[in-house]
Structure 1
């Protein structure tokens, strides 16, 4: 940890720098969540959208464990700088794609995978850096709150809105602006102070595998975690069948037919639901036992998934996305709270990484399944099937799951964050 200074202002300076990095990086992430599916749909149709969603989610399943291990064995600022260099390279490559012809349309998934991998490394590095940059443990919560606020604001609101507006104007200008944002992210990242690695030992593949498997073993031996991880994997898979199909449906001329700006506004509706839900979740967690809170969340998911299947009214669809944002936040908060409560501090990092691998694998499977279904089923039938699957999951959870004490309240959510675990409605989840 950095040595505190007497003035306090200098000690806060690295945190302010990290906040700036998070601001520009989140703005870039939010813009990419709109730009990549839109460009893929224009160039390759529905299958292009499917390929981009798979490419954006796969890095979380494939690289979380090795990058988490790397973050403990090298300087975390060094890891963040490497990720920033990579993001800039892929952003410049995306801006140059119009120079290619023919197979260039299938380079979008490759760019998405590269950006997704750099995003995983960047997020792991930034989250791990905070304890090393604050002047003391008493400043940890306030630093995390500030960074989370700008990440939510710029990643879920400003970034998608900026991308939608720019795409309406000019595609080349949009990708150029994204490259400039990536350059700014790199510039601010280079200003971060160097910090030493936390583990002074050589990196070995065998040790990495052993540490990673330790998290999986802990989940397997802990009944509550195993049930929650399995449920979150299933819900994530259904969610990404819906999410991938909805993106193709919304952008297609014979679907909802919204413009690039209209699509970004729909994404903003889901983000707005998350902000509204932040004011309600604590009350729900205090009022309902674990089983009831999870079931209530999935009821909201059912509404979210069902409305676009039965109407093309954009106001109704946007309203359902608001409900989805709130419901996703509730599920997310419960999953984080329970995992923090039942996992010892010594293995929490490895357990979190293993948990994310499980849930992110569900997303990859869901996006791939959407690609299999879309050529054979109408979009709205797939959306309706997803709503039915979530409703059945809610029924199964209500009658098959048993809390350790059904009277216990999940008030532990008071200490929970709203990070991207399990499943949720935030558009930022794809980075």
Structure 2
């Protein structure tokens, strides 16, 4: 834990559910907690307090936690960047993710250009993400046993080689849909092992105090790439072709590989209880099912991934058949989605350890349902792009908050496995959402598909919100 800043007296006391936090310069914040499910507080201030960090009880659980007090500052927004290893991680990931988003856009455009079928788009999305469904749980168990950097180096080298193969097939004019599907499966295998290791690796780079900020900055980086990558891909596809996107993506992996090699890490400490990977996997499922907060968040993440996020596989259909856009227009839509997500991530980073995470979680669900419904209605490119900004903002508000809640609630020795389970809910169900979205769009239309998905997410959000309401079953408020 990092020391408190000079503005806060470290001698703050927590006694019998009453916390008195003494702040220098004659400031006194008195927080009187009446019980586990509800609290009241009175504040006496001689003047306006400066930003600080204080230890206070949780809203509904009586579990102490550190929260940010005072106004938002840019210094707090980028707090995790004071860690050298995290700066290396951010730099390498940013370059690599720009290439990844270029390839994502190029694959969607290529498949639709080869097949002219929404169902085929959905199938390729399904088959490419299927390894996430099958392998993330044992991959999470592996991340608790093998040094995470070693796993990440292997996965990034493998993904780089697959990008070069795809570039060669397109360049030589021999590419077919089944080639794309097969390479997508292999990339899915690398991602299945990469995601749990990478997610649980972040806390080793910054520690728990800066974890929420690091996750938010990670989302900011991801969505900066999501803005830049598709925009660049649209120009490259229109001027050179999809092969150049795949080649540039392959080269971009060199940055992230170099960043991992340059990190100075302590000797890796890994846990091995002698159980098989599958037995260890069963243990983490029982653990998550027995934790009300983790269980509720996992269910909502699964619903949003299965029925909400599947809109993304239909973006080429909206671009070409509904909005009548070319490759650049398609890139504009994906970039607009990324701009919204970037703004959402920066919002979360600025909030720091905002205490009311339950509100953020369900605000994200509500915002997503409203804006994706508007996107389904729109027939104008700029209105559609504006709606996708809202969709991206809401999605990142939800998923980044969910990620933070799950990581902070997890035991250290189980974090790799818990994040494997989270990856299953977050990404592993996505292939089923893709194939379902493609089938429904083929039978009805793309707008009807996103409206139905929004309705399912809204219904699930209402049920989970009532189930986890403060005063009832403990909700994800911390």
Gaps of 5+ in 2: 1-81
Cα pair distance change 1:55/1:196, threshold 3 Å: farther
Secondary structure, counterpart of 1:375 in structure 2: helix
**2:107 equivalent to 1:36:** yes
Q: Which residue of 2 aligns with 1:374?
A: 441
- CA deviations on 1:377-400 (whole Å, 9 max, x unpaired) are 1222222222333333344345x4
Q: Which position in structure 2 is the counterpart of 1:4?
A: none
Q: CA offsets, 1:275-318, max 9 Å, x none?
A: 3334655779969683x554433321122221232221111111
The equivalent residue for 1:148 is 218
Where do residues 31-430 of structure 1 align in structure 2 (5 Å cutoff)?
A: 31-45=102-116, 46-98=118-170, 104-129=176-201, 144=214, 148=218, 151-152=221-222, 154-171=224-241, 172-186=243-257, 189=260, 197-199=268-270, 207-245=276-314, 247-252=315-320, 254-278=321-345, 280=347, 290=358, 293-340=360-407, 342-398=409-465, 400-405=466-471, 412=478
Relative to structure 1, the CA distance from residue 43 to residue 183 in structure 2 (aligned partners, 3 Å threshold; closer, same or farther) is farther
Query: Are residues 126 and 299 of structure 1, via their aligned partners in 2, closer, same or farther at CA, if it must alter by over 3 Å?
Result: closer
Q: 2 CA distance for matches of 1:284 and 1:128?
A: 19
Equivalent pairs, count:
394
For the 8 Å contact 1:52–1:109, the answer to whether it is kept is yes
TM-superposed CA distance for 1:103, in Å, is 7.2
TM-score (norm 2): 0.70
TM-score after normalising by structure 1 = 0.77
Structure with the largest fraction of strand: 2
State the shift of 1:207 in Å.
2.0
Describe the superposition over 1:188-243 as per-residue Cα deviations: whole angstroms up to 9, x where unpaired.
Answer: 555556875533759x7x52112212221012222333233222212221114422
Cα deviation, 1:395-431, whole Å, max 9, x if unaligned, reads 4345x4242437999764xxxxxxxxxxxxxxxxxxx
Q: Higher relative CO (CA 8 A, sep ≥ 6), structure 1 or 2?
A: 1
CA RMSD, Structure 1 to Structure 2 (Å)? 3.7
Q: CA distance change for structure 1 residues 18 and 379 in 2, over 3 Å: closer, same or farther? A: closer
The alpha-carbon distance between structure 1 residues 98 and 407, as it changes in their structure 2 partners (threshold 3 A), is closer
In the TM superposition, residue 89 of structure 1 has moved relative to its aligned partner by 1.4
In structure 1, distance between residues paired with 2:88 and 2:373: 43
Structure 1: where are the runs of 5+ without partners? 1-10, 413-431
Q: Could you tell me how far apart the structure 1 residues matched to 2:331 and 2:311 are?
A: 17
CA distance in 1, matches of 2:246, 2:145: 35
Q: Which moved further from structure 2: 167-176 or 312-321?
A: 167-176
CA contact (8 A) 2:196 2:416 kept: no
Question: Which is greater in Rg?
Answer: 2
Higher helix proportion: 1
Deviation at 1:265, TM superposition (A): 1.8
